[in-house]
Amino acid sequence: MSDSQLYVKGDNKITKPALYTGLVILLAILPLFVKSPYYLNVCILTFTYIVAAVSLRVILISGQTSLAHAAFMGIGAYTSAVLAKELGWTPWICIPLGALVTTGIGILVAFIFSRVRALLFGMLTIFFGMGIIYVIQVFSKWTGGYAGIMGITPLFGISKVPYYYFFLGITVVSLLALYRFEFCRIGKTLKTLDQSYLVASSVGIDEVKTRVLAVGVGSFFVGLIGAAYAHYTLVLSPTSFGVLQSIYLVMYVLIGGLGSFAGPIIGTAVLVIIPEAFRGLKGYSPFIFAGLLLIINFLMPQGLVGLPQLIRSRLEHRKGKGGTHAP
């Protein structure tokens, strides 16, 4: 390895943490300059779906495609909301309980579906997600049925600033935990399963336990952010956690870039903020997302996260062409 390569690697180890720390500091001081409740609400929604998308990626990198991740978010949200409203418990207890209940259900579902893979697993999770919506409608005495549940206990007062910092804190802690999980030995095992479950099994990796663990971890964080979301919006509707919302989460990951941890973060930020910025186009979001997915599939296989590298390589290619001279 050359000295220049060593220098680049060492430099990356310094610049990446510095960049992320600077970004967190920038987000922390943002409410000092952005006073509009609307823009703070957009930021809170972005934080919410970033955690949901990155937690989904934990499942996707194991080779399984879950199309019920929004339903798991709904489980956390409804569990926390019902406990707070019906039993009068404080949201500070209900939110962790919502995450734990979601984790338990996620592990159970993953164990039941542990013998199916890829497309079949995705299809089964669609039916599971539809089943969750049906259960919410059946137990309308507590959940409000199709009309939804209202009057949920709030975490803070009217101001959105405390909610902004609360969701920013959950996002930072969740991303740190998920990053550490992905790049530990278990996370590397998940990627091995994605490459070839047969090879992974041949070297002693327990496919069932590993994939169940991946679903459990993903379910915990999406249940946590879902429970927090319930005490922010104060109103829940089953339509907010349907199959379409799960497909959106998958698109956030794919458009951002499945191959990188930062991919879902970038994809979610772009696809949540842009429709809000151009509200007149919000009704066309499904078509815009589908068009973006096609463009990225053909032109940017690494997703939006690979765009800087793609631009850099194109510029270097043009520079190389310009520097060549005919003899």
> Would you kindly state where each structural domain of the chain is located, as residue ranges?
37-242+275-283
Closest-CA residue to 73 (of 181, 185, 232): 232
State how far the Cα of 153 lies from the Cα of 145, in Å rounded to an integer.
18
Burial of 298 by CB count in 10 Å (0-12 exposed, 13-18 middle, 19+ buried)?
exposed
Residue numbers of the chain with a pLDDT score lower than 50: 1-10, 325-327
User: What pLDDT sits at residue 233?
Assistant: 94
User: What pLDDT sits at residue 180?
Assistant: 93
Tell me the per-residue pLDDT of 236-263, one tens digit each, with 9 for 90 and over.
Answer: 998 889 898 999 999 999 889 888 899 9
3-state secondary structure of 211: helix
Q: Tell me the angle at which helices 37-60 and 262-277 cross, rounded to the nearest 10 degrees.
A: 150
State how far the Cα of 36 lies from the Cα of 161, in Å rounded to an integer.
10
* Other C-beta atoms lying within 10 Å of the C-beta of residue 134: 11
Q: By the 8 A CB rule, do 275 and 295 touch?
A: no
User: What pLDDT sits at residue 317?
Assistant: 66
Q: By the 8 A CB rule, do 153 and 231 touch?
A: yes
Runs of H (alpha helix) within the chain:
3-33, 37-60, 69-87, 91-112, 118-138, 140-143, 161-182, 185-195, 197-202, 207-233, 243-256, 262-277, 285-299, 307-323
State how far the Cα of 175 lies from the Cα of 27, in Å rounded to an integer.
15
Question: Which of the 8 DSSP states describes residue 115?
Answer: T
The percentage of residues in the chain with a pLDDT greater than 90, rounded to a whole number, is 47
Q: The dihedral of CA 132, 134, 137, 142: what is its sign?
A: negative
User: What pLDDT sits at residue 1?
Assistant: 45
State how far the Cα of 103 lies from the Cα of 309, in Å rounded to an integer.
37
User: For 161, what's the count of Cα atoms within 13 Å in the CB-facing half-sphere?
Assistant: 10
User: What pLDDT sits at residue 9?
Assistant: 46
User: What pLDDT sits at residue 289?
Assistant: 76
> Which residue is it, tokens 């409740």?
37
